[in-house]
Amino acid sequence: MGPHSEKRHQIQTNEEGLILWSENYRWLRDQPSLNESRFVAVSGMEAKPSDLLTAAPPYGHVLCSGKWKDSALVRALRGAGLKILFENELHVADFLLPNKSSILYVSESDIIAGSSYRRKLVRYRNASNRFQELVLVERTGLSEQYFGSLQRFVVLELGLPLLPVGGQTEASQLIAQMVQADGRENIFRRSSCRLLDPLVLALVQQIPGVGRVKALALLQHFSSIQQLCSAAPEELESVVGQAVAQQIHSFFH
């Protein structure tokens, strides 16, 4: 018997033939007879929710909380060509991406229902994991009046990056962009500057009037997303000009 034979009873497959793994993944994926794209991160017999936050799904896949199974967002992700994997024990996160990004989604109904979502945000911030966090917030006509205070809480008090989206369709487009960008080499990425990660670059490009060139200029000038969010129009103007500076300031405020 090999050193890992006692764990083989944990190997299972789902209806698509994808291998289900937990802590076994690292030695399993090294087996020459197995293709890494056939692995899907789900809790095995001995896995804990925290275990699932230490390894990313394969490229081209999105690991989703089970509550999103019949959602328009997931349907749109599939329509974009992504493979969707479900797990009911993602702890607080809603989505995990191949580039080790973790997403928490705050819906319009969450915001209108009261402040309980804030406790979830605190748990998300405090979760011990190696993923880069991102909070997506539905900014709609109904939730607009609450957005300013929510943004200040998330960005300034919790120190988490926040991006407003109009709804699940827009959120799916952003997630798809993040996953697909992760598969291409980013010549602008530097290991010494986390802000130039594809995730943050994609976020900044969602701001009206900000393309790739302006996004890179902003990320070279401001040392954190928090600084960018709280920058005065005059500070932004020196980097991107008056018109775009006003658009950025309005976007965050």
Question: How much is the pLDDT for 16?
Answer: 40
Between 204 and 5, the more confident residue is: 204
Q: 88 and 135: one domain?
A: yes
Q: 72 and 151: one domain?
A: yes
Domain end position, chosen among 154, 183, 212: 183
Q: 58 and 119: one domain?
A: yes
Return d(Cα 81, Cα 167) in angstroms, integer: 20
Q: 75 and 21: one domain?
A: no
Return d(Cα 39, Cα 58) in angstroms, integer: 7
Q: 25 and 82: one domain?
A: no
Q: 200 and 244: one domain?
A: yes
Return d(Cα 154, Cα 91) in angstroms, integer: 19
Q: 106 and 19: one domain?
A: no
Q: 20 and 94: one domain?
A: no
Return d(Cα 73, Cα 165) in angstroms, integer: 12
Q: What percent of the chain has pLDDT over 90?
A: 25
Q: How far is CA 237 from CA 41, 144, 197, 233, in A?
A: 45, 26, 24, 6
Q: 172 and 130: one domain?
A: yes
Between 87 and 14, the more confident residue is: 87
DSSP calls for the chain:
--TTGGGGGG-EE-TT-PEEESTTHHHHTT-TTS-GGGEEE---TT--GGGGGSSPPPTTEEEEEGGGTT-HHHHHHHHTT-EEEEES--TT-SEE-TTSEEEEEE-HHHHHH-SHHHHHHHHHHH---SSEEEEEEE--TTTHHHHHHHHIIIIIIS---EEEESSHHHHHHHHHHHHHHHTS--TT-BTTBGGGSHHHHHHHTTSTT--HHHHHHHHHH-SSHHHHHH--HHHHHHHH-HHHHHHHHHHH-
Tens digit of each residue's pLDDT (9 = 90 or more) over 79-97? 999 999 988 777 789 999 9
Tens digit of each residue's pLDDT (9 = 90 or more) over 188-226? 333 333 444 556 777 777 788 888 788 888 877 886 667
Domain count, the chain: 3
Owning domain of residue 107: 48-183
Domain end position, chosen among 183, 209, 244: 183
* Residue 38 scores a pLDDT above 80: no
* Residue 230 scores a pLDDT above 70: yes
Q: 57 and 122: one domain?
A: yes
Q: 197 and 251: one domain?
A: yes
* Residue 238 scores a pLDDT above 50: yes
Most confident of 152-161, 173-182, 200-209, 232-241: 232-241
- Which CATH number is 235's domain given? 1.10.150.20
Return d(Cα 99, Cα 150) in angstroms, integer: 26
- Which CATH number is 94's domain given? 3.40.50.10130
Q: 155 and 203: one domain?
A: no
Return d(Cα 95, Cα 45) in angstroms, integer: 22
